[in-house]
């Protein structure tokens, strides 16, 4: 975990793949192991332990990334700024951009996937085919590069559902490389040197203060850029 920007109000963090963002209720163990992003941050910024809707379990967390998704996150340092960021997210004034490598060659240069997402009964898996707790989900995408059997895309979720990008791209017929949950039979072990899905939170754009826009970027980590180098 690396802090790439620091202000009195918030931190910009580069989360590595394999690190869980926060604990779930009932988790045990001390914070010295820093298995969780929040544990690692509290060691450096103890004030975070009092920030958030549920500081005991999700200190300073206003949005999340999957365990095996890397990239940029914003972490509020005060309760006042947490409420400010929370409102920005609710009003869809925070714009996030991801990069993903998918199986197959996408023909259209850009598009929008508008399919509600629900929880598949008896699992933690999400689906666009009914399920429970169905919610609106909209994802924009743009092709960055086409390879023989793969496409590198830029993905901009308009909503923030769990596993949204992974579910939507799989529904479109182009699952993310390395996604063992939603990738189906298209997984090819020769490309899985990274050991996780090729999904990276590349940038986050919002107003750190009202009327002043800023964009924070996390470049592709070596495990993912190495895969692209093999395809070039």
Instruction: Give catalytic residue positions.
Output: 66
Q: Count H helices, E strands: the chain?
A: 4, 12
Whole-number Cα distances in Å, 93 to 38, 136, 158: 24, 17, 10
Are the C-beta atoms of residues 218 and 16 closer than 8 Å to each other? Answer: no
Separation of alpha carbons 61 and 42, rounded Å? 12
Q: How many residues does the chain have?
A: 232
Question: Using CB atoms within 10 A of its CB, is residue 184 exposed (0-12), middle (13-18) or buried (19+)?
Answer: exposed
Are the C-beta atoms of residues 127 and 67 closer than 8 Å to each other? Answer: no
Are the C-beta atoms of residues 205 and 214 closer than 8 Å to each other? Answer: yes
Q: Which residues of 38-66 are buried (b: 16+ CB within 10 A; e: fewer)?
A: bbbbbeebeebeebbeebebbbbbbbbbb
Separation of alpha carbons 141 and 87, rounded Å? 25
């Amino acid at each position: 975990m690396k802090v790439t920007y620091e202000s009195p109000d918030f931190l910009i963090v580069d989360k590595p793949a394999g690190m869980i963002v926060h604990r779930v209720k009932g988790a045990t163990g001390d914070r010295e192991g820093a298995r969780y992003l929040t544990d690692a941050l509290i060691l450096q910024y103890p004030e975070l332990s009092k920030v958030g809707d549920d500081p005991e379990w999700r200190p300073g967390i206003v949005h999340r990334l999957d365990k095996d998704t890397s990239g940029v996150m914003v972490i509020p340092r005060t309760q006042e700024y947490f409420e400010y960021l929370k409102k920005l997210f609710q009003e869809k004034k925070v714009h996030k951009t991801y990069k993903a490598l998918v199986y197959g060659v996408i023909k259209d240069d850009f598009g929008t996937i508008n399919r509600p997402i629900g929880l598949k009964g008896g699992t933690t898996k999400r689906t666009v085919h009914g399920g429970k707790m169905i919610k609106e989900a909209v994802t924009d995408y743009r092709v960055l590069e086409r390879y023989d059997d793969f496409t590198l895309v830029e993905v901009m979720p308009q909503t923030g559902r769990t596993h949204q990008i992974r579910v939507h791209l799989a529904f479109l017929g182009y699952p993310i490389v390395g996604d063992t949950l939603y990738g189906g039979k298209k997984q090819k072990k020769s490309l899985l040197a990274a050991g996780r899905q090729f999904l990276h939170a590349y940038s986050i754009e919002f107003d750190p203060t009202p009327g002043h826009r800023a964009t924070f970027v996390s470049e592709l980590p070596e495990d993912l850029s190495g895969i692209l180098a093999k395809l070039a």
